Structure 1
């Protein structure tokens, strides 16, 4: 990944509102549905409602984890597992997605996944 916060260049797109209500698929299954896209300068990310998967919890997924967008199927694919997303620093539903302390902590977590041994 170029950076955990930037949509990979090979996708030839940026995150924008046309991804709202797209399903999010991890390497091992469904994560939830995109409910918000935040483009805090330098911290592009998706807010995903996981529904009953994790007790109605929302999660933040950095743009750099996106591996593909299938517009006809309305699916965003990410390059991590459901468990890795569950283990990410917790996001509270009414939390401001522009909370830089939280975003830096989240970025550190996802960057550690890139360098972790397989």
Structure 2
């Protein structure tokens, strides 16, 4: 994961201005959901992923640095986390968390350390 959790890696293939809404999201071990919202803002980029029925309709906030590849042809976004890591992420509610800096810091820490599954800090 890049040093700034809230930025897309240059190697991801993400093109600023591309509307990712509705695109498939793939974890390292399979399909996780679709992009409900996203931000391209430099230093504040993220995906809100609707996991649908997979984990009871939970939405999750993924920092842009979790994105490893954006496939423009297949309209798919690939992330460097497993389904279980995403499922175990802190719960997200857009109406109360999207502008909450403390929540964003919690999310950044969760993904930098790999959540409950370990990992190395960025």
TM tier, shorter chain? Answer: 0.7 to 0.9
Aligned residue for 2:80? 79
CA contact (8 A) 1:7 1:14 kept: no
- Which consecutive residues of structure 1, in runs of 5 or more, have no partner in the other structure? none
Counterpart Cα distance in 2 of 1:43 and 1:7? 9
Aligned residue for 1:105? 106
User: Which moved further from structure 2: 3-12 or 79-88?
Assistant: 3-12
Equivalenced residue count is 116
Matched, 1:37 2:38: yes
Counterpart Cα distance in 2 of 1:38 and 1:69? 14
* 1:40 shift after superposition: 6.1
User: Which moved further from structure 2: 24-33 or 11-20?
Assistant: 11-20
- Larger strand proportion, structure 1 or 2? 1
The normalised TM-score by structure 2 is 0.84
The normalised TM-score by structure 1 is 0.87
Q: Could you say if the C-alpha distance between residues 81 and 15 of structure 1 is closer, same or farther in structure 2, counting changes exceeding 3 Å?
A: farther
Tell me the SS of whatever aligns to 1:61.
strand
Q: CA RMSD, aligned part only?
A: 1.9
Which digits, 9 at most, give the CA deviation of each residue in 1:24-77, with x for residues without a partner?
A: 000001111101013566331100111111111111111000000111111000
Q: Could you say if the C-alpha distance between residues 41 and 6 of structure 1 is closer, same or farther in structure 2, counting changes exceeding 3 Å?
A: closer
